[in-house]
Chains A and B, each alone.
Chain A
Amino acid sequence: MSEGRTKRITFRVQRYNPEQDGTPYFQEFIVPSGRGMTVLEGLIYIKENLDSSLTFRSSCRMSICGSCGMLINNYPHLACHSQIEEFHSDRLTIKPLPNQSIIKDLVPDLIPFFDKHKSIKPYLIRQDIEEMENPTAEFVQLPQELNTFLQFTYCIKCGLCLAACPTSASDKPFLGPQALAQCYRYCADNRDEGRGERLPIAGADHAVWHCHLAGACSEACPKGLDPALAIQLLKRRLISQALGFGKRQRPSSVVPPPTETKPKVPFPEFTAKETK
Chain B
Amino acid sequence: MRQRQPRQNYLGPGGWVWGGSYKIERYLYLLHRITGLGLILFVIIHLVMTTIFRIQGQDVWEATMVFLSNPWFKFGEYLVVVAFIYHALNGLRLTLQELGFGLGRPTPPIYPFTDALRRKRPWTITMIAVIVILSLVILVEFVAGGW
B-binding residues in A (CB < 8 A): 16, 18-19, 24, 71, 74-76, 96-103, 108-109, 147-152, 154, 163-164, 166, 169-170, 172, 212-216, 218-219, 221, 223-226, 228-230, 232-233, 235-236, 239
Residue B108 at the chain A interface, CB threshold 8 Å: yes
Number of A-B contacts (CB under 8 A): 147
- Asked if B7 contacts A226 (CB within 8 A), the reply is no
What's the nearest-Cβ distance from chain B to residue A141, in Å? 15
* Interface segment, one of B47-55, B67-75, B113-121, B138-146: B113-121
Residue B109 at the chain A interface, CB threshold 8 Å: yes
What's the nearest-Cβ distance from chain A to residue B113, in Å? 3
| Distance A219 CA – B12 CA, assembled complex (angstroms) | 21
| Distance A71 CA – B22 CA, assembled complex (angstroms) | 13
| A-B contacts, 9 listed (Cβ < 8 Å) | A166-B19, A169-B11, A170-B15, A218-B115, A219-B22, A232-B116, A233-B100, A233-B106, A239-B99
Q: Which residue of A lies closest to B113 (CB)?
A: A224
The contact of B15 among A24, A99, A218, by CB within 8 Å, is A99
Residue B6 at the chain A interface, CB threshold 8 Å: yes
Residue B98 at the chain A interface, CB threshold 8 Å: yes
What's the nearest-Cβ distance from chain B to residue A121, in Å? 21
- Asked if B115 contacts A164 (CB within 8 A), the reply is no
Q: Which residue of A lies closest to B28 (CB)?
A: A214
What's the nearest-Cβ distance from chain A to residue B75, in Å? 29
What are the residues of chain A within 8 A of B115 when measuring CB–CB? Answer: 215, 218-219, 221, 224, 226, 228-229
What are the residues of chain B within 8 A of A96 when measuring CB–CB? Answer: 9
| Distance A124 CA – B141 CA, assembled complex (angstroms) | 60
| Distance A169 CA – B128 CA, assembled complex (angstroms) | 26
Q: Which residue of A lies closest to B14 (CB)?
A: A169
Chain B 97-111 interface mask (CB, 8 Å, partner A; 1/0):
111100111111111
Contacts known (A215-B25, A226-B106); A99 close to B7, Cβ less than 8 A = no
| Distance A147 CA – B106 CA, assembled complex (angstroms) | 8
What are the residues of chain A within 8 A of B56 when measuring CB–CB? Answer: none
Residue B58 at the chain A interface, CB threshold 8 Å: no
Q: Which residue of B lies closest to A146 (CB)?
A: B108
Q: Which residue of A lies closest to B33 (CB)?
A: A212
What are the residues of chain A within 8 A of B22 when measuring CB–CB? Answer: 75, 164, 214-216, 219
What are the residues of chain A within 8 A of B9 when measuring CB–CB? Answer: 96-102, 108
